[in-house]
Each structure stands twice: as C-alpha cells, then as structure tokens.
Amino acid sequence: MERAGVLDIDLQMGPVRADAWRLVVPDVEIDLGLLPQVELDIDGAYAIEAPDPHAFSFDHALFDNLWVAAKLGLLGWQDDGDPATAWALGLQLGPKLPVTRAAHGIGYEALFLVGRTWDDSHVVLNVGGRVDPGGAIGGQRPIGLEGGLDVDLQSSLSWLSMTGELGFVHYFSPDADELHVTFGPKWSPNDNLDISLVGLVGFLSGGDGRGLLLGISPKFPLWK
C-alpha cells in the first residue's frame, strides 16, 4: 500500500496481440494513500486496435471499464519481531464504471489479498470475483472468479528487481476464460520512480496472446 499522502501513477504502454494487434496507450493505475491503512485506486486502460488479425495499423479505439476501488489493510504482523519480514491481509473492492456507449450498468469487483514481504522483495496473492458492466444492450454481463500472484524480487543491486504476475479469470457467463503470465526487469533510479519492461504471454483464448509493455511509475508526495 502507498504511504498516506503519496500519489503513485502506474502507466504501461506497448503492443499486445489477442485476435488482432492493439497498441496500449496506456494501461493506467492511480493509487493514492489516504490513511495508513486506506488507499484509493483507479484502474483503467485505453488502446487502439488493428482492423483485422493480419494488419499492424490501428484504426479504432478500445476502452476498459474503469475500476474505482478502496484498498484496505486489515492485519499485518512481523516474523518474531523481525522488521525485514512480514505478512499482511487486505481487501480491494469497489464499483466498475462503464466508459463507452455500448457498455451499460454498474459492475463490481472485490479481491482478498495476502502479502508476504522479506527485505525489499514481496509476493501478493489475490483471490476474488467480478461482475463487469454489460457489453451491449440486453447482453449478459461477464461474471467471473479471478485470482493472481504478483511478485517483485529484489536483486543484489539496490536499483534492479524482477517483477511479474500470474493471473486467471474463470467465467460463469459465456465469456472465454483467461490465463496470462508477465515477467521482466524493473529499474528504480530513486525512491519515487520505477521503470519496467515486461513480456506478456497468454495461454487461453479469452485473454491476450503476447505483448511487450514498457512501464513508468512515478510517485508524488502530496502531503505528510
């Protein structure tokens, strides 16, 4: 979680292929620490997509639904009083807002979080579910069970770590299931800036097949 008064803007940009190529410009997550155990998160994406699977030109826009969530720290404890290692439990939940004319209704997403930290490395397991806004008037809403594992593994160099994610969604609606992995290096030249380059590989028909994303994540202390 971000410290109270710190704004983190996490941007990812790059080419991704599912049925056709698209250029993510960008995938954005905004995190604002409000209190020591409360964070406001806003998560969305904008991309431009190719007209068919064989083209690498982009002619129409795609929007993801906007997730506005609260992240709540529920419980945390250190291993035998060791400040370098700790466990934490939390929740992330809130509405998903439709951002296009074709989408309708308000969705909702909720995740239960389990975090493990040692030194400057951390792993977070998340499990939950979501009901997305409908994609067309009268269409069935995407409803699914989701989970993931996020890792950030510090190297022997203080400015270099490896970051990655394993994520899945199993849908109870007719939508195709999703399973993907991302992994790559992250450079942290100072405490307020991270730059990453991660590859993406998908394994099921419902998600992206492959991609390469450049990430830029500046932090801005707004108040103390």
Q: Which domains does the chain have, with CATH numbers?
A: 6-221 (2.40.160.40)
CB 24 within 8 A of CB 47: yes
CB 60 within 8 A of CB 79: no
Q: What local confidence, expressed as pLDDT, does residue 215 receive? A: 97
> Which residue from 85, 100, 88, 2 is spatially nearest to 42, judged by alpha carbons?
2
CB 131 within 8 A of CB 151: no
Residue spans of the chain under pLDDT 50 = 137
What pTM does this model have?
0.92
125 by Cβ neighbours in 10 Å (0-12 / 13-18 / 19+) ranks as: middle
CA 194 to chain CA mean position, Å: 15
DSSP label of 203: -
Q: What local confidence, expressed as pLDDT, does residue 3 receive? A: 92
Distance in angstroms (rounded) separating the CA atoms of residues 5 and 73: 16
DSSP label of 51: S
Residues in Cβ contact with 63 at an 8 Å cutoff, skipping those fewer than 6 apart? 44, 45, 46, 99, 100
Distance in angstroms (rounded) separating the CA atoms of residues 43 and 178: 19
Q: What local confidence, expressed as pLDDT, does residue 138 receive? A: 56
Distance in angstroms (rounded) separating the CA atoms of residues 113 and 88: 8
Q: What local confidence, expressed as pLDDT, does residue 139 receive? A: 67
Distance in angstroms (rounded) separating the CA atoms of residues 36 and 224: 11
> Which residue from 72, 172, 164, 181 is spatially nearest to 130, judged by alpha carbons?
172
Distance in angstroms (rounded) separating the CA atoms of residues 150 and 122: 8
Q: What local confidence, expressed as pLDDT, does residue 101 receive? A: 73
Sign, CA torsion 1/169/178/23:
negative
Q: Which two tokens stand for residue 6?
A: 């710190």
